[in-house]
Structure 1
């Protein structure tokens, strides 16, 4: 069997849990070297350890993805271990508790925009030159159904996810001549450690999100399988697209 990501190296943010961990493990299972990065260095290390225990190759780094110096240090960890990059997954993200504008203070706005949108700028600027130097590759960013409609987040979250989609489209156009493909994943409700506390506090919201055509909420591995497709040659003719993976949520 040919591994779909053999010989490639991926830098994955938000890799310490949830979708980021699932993406990291699936990439490694398909032959990629994985640099697992998270604000929580311990959980990033746990992801890398799980990959290595499964026969893959991974190193980890703790970094605030808004901080250029910390990101540069994390990038260097991967360069020292694997020599270069072909793949970037901008997955780090946070919620805003669905706060409307007048309930959003400057600190919340700056934090959500920083983690969800500014980080994609900071990390991509740090990793993209290495992808180009390798002859090309892929940049995948986690957007949301909130990239298309309001209601799945508050003012800051919805703005940040609309921004990720615009960022992805412009990146795809600008760097296609360098053999770089950029695409975004746009999840609906996914069962992760980030979402579970909200559903436990408000079971009715879980019932609402489960009432989609698929009749369930998504799982982290649903996202990981899509990320693998977008990182592999299977999606070689897909550029600048936000791929919706929501069980039909936007249809309702």
Structure 2
């Protein structure tokens, strides 16, 4: 009976109904685009790079450690993806310059910048953060993100436009007591994308932000490795689970695609319904 019904359905309907989950990635949505993703050898950054490449983009992966870059590139190339890698400490001007130079030399230009690099060397209430820790957090999380965006502009302008995405955090909208200074640095990015999107909109350069919730990675292990902490956090999340790095990658892929062509100056919160008040 079901086979008989299927025979009478239009082909397009059959294709949609029988499409597998693995075929759900729009493979050519970013075809011809070149992307840089910082801090992209593991965790959310890696998932973003992998998703952009799976959607057809040529992706430049980067990290502070050469062995991490080599390992990530090997894994991605084994999937048949178009990727290259470069060692980059985003706090060093010469490393940032090499990042853009490599994108031009290897792929011919730049269309997408995903600024993901961040640090959190200390925990505690915001006004108990010592000066050295504060400076390091803001140097990497804010200043370097700003400089990367600034330095990407000549390349994006040559392409007639492009997309910049900053990776913030749910802590940027709802500060967490033990992540005081880090939370403030991530809040700063929300203001940066608002201001930059106004300036760059007339040039067809869109600027947006992803604010992930709690995603189990090495970076967030202090929050996700303790059973008691896990239960307390999960009680604040309506979906009652942590996020997946792949879900963050999918969100960024949408933001840099033409499907989000009329979206700029926005922060997309991907936190399972976790409260955000800012």
Which residue of 110, 117, 120 corresponds with 1:92? 117
**Shift of the alpha carbon at 1:154?**
2.7
- State yes or no: 1:186 paired with 2:211: yes
1:243 aligns to what?
A: 268
TM-score using structure 2 length? 0.85
Matches within 5 A, 1:135-154: 135-151=160-176, 153-154=178-179
Q: Distance in 1 between matches of 2:269 and 2:36?
A: 22
**Shift of the alpha carbon at 1:225?**
0.6
> Per the alignment, in what secondary structure is the counterpart of residue 176 of structure 2?
coil
Which of 3-12 and 145-154 deviates more? 145-154
Which residue of 227, 241, 266 corresponds with 1:203? 227
The 8 Å contact of residues 36 and 60 in structure 1, kept in 2 or not, is answered as yes
Q: Distance in 1 between matches of 2:147 and 2:177?
A: 25
1:14 aligns to what?
A: 39
**Shift of the alpha carbon at 1:115?**
1.6
The 8 Å contact of residues 163 and 207 in structure 2, kept in 1 or not, is answered as yes
Which of 37-46 and 226-235 deviates more? 37-46
**Shift of the alpha carbon at 1:175?**
0.5
The 8 Å contact of residues 145 and 166 in structure 2, kept in 1 or not, is answered as yes
What is the CA deviation profile of residues 16-37 of structure 1, one whole-angstrom value per residue up to 9, with x for unaligned ones? Answer: 1100000001110111000101
Which residue of 242, 245, 266 corresponds with 1:217? 242
1:58 aligns to what?
A: 83
TM-score using structure 1 length? 0.94
Matched length: 251
> Per the alignment, in what secondary structure is the counterpart of residue 249 of structure 1?
coil
Distance change (3 Å), C-alpha of 1:67 and 1:175: same
Matches within 5 A, 1:164-183: 164-183=189-208
What is the CA deviation profile of residues 62-115 of structure 1, one whole-angstrom value per residue up to 9, with x for unaligned ones? Answer: 111011111101211111101100000001112254322343112211111112
Q: Distance in 2 between matches of 1:58 and 1:181?
A: 23
Matches within 5 A, 1:17-36: 17-36=42-61
> Per the alignment, in what secondary structure is the counterpart of residue 209 of structure 2?
strand
Which of 205-214 and 150-159 deviates more? 150-159
Q: RMSD of the alignment, in Å?
A: 1.7
Which of 123-132 and 93-102 deviates more? 93-102
What is the CA deviation profile of residues 163-197 of structure 1, one whole-angstrom value per residue up to 9, with x for unaligned ones? Answer: 11111111111111111111000111111121124
**Which ranges of structure 1 fall in alignment gaps of 5 or more residues?**
none
Q: For the pair shown, which has the larger CA radius of gyration, 1 or 2?
A: 2
Q: Distance in 1 between matches of 2:206 and 2:243?
A: 25
2:92 aligns to what?
A: 67
Q: Distance in 2 between matches of 1:138 and 1:145?
A: 22
Distance change (3 Å), C-alpha of 1:83 and 1:219: same
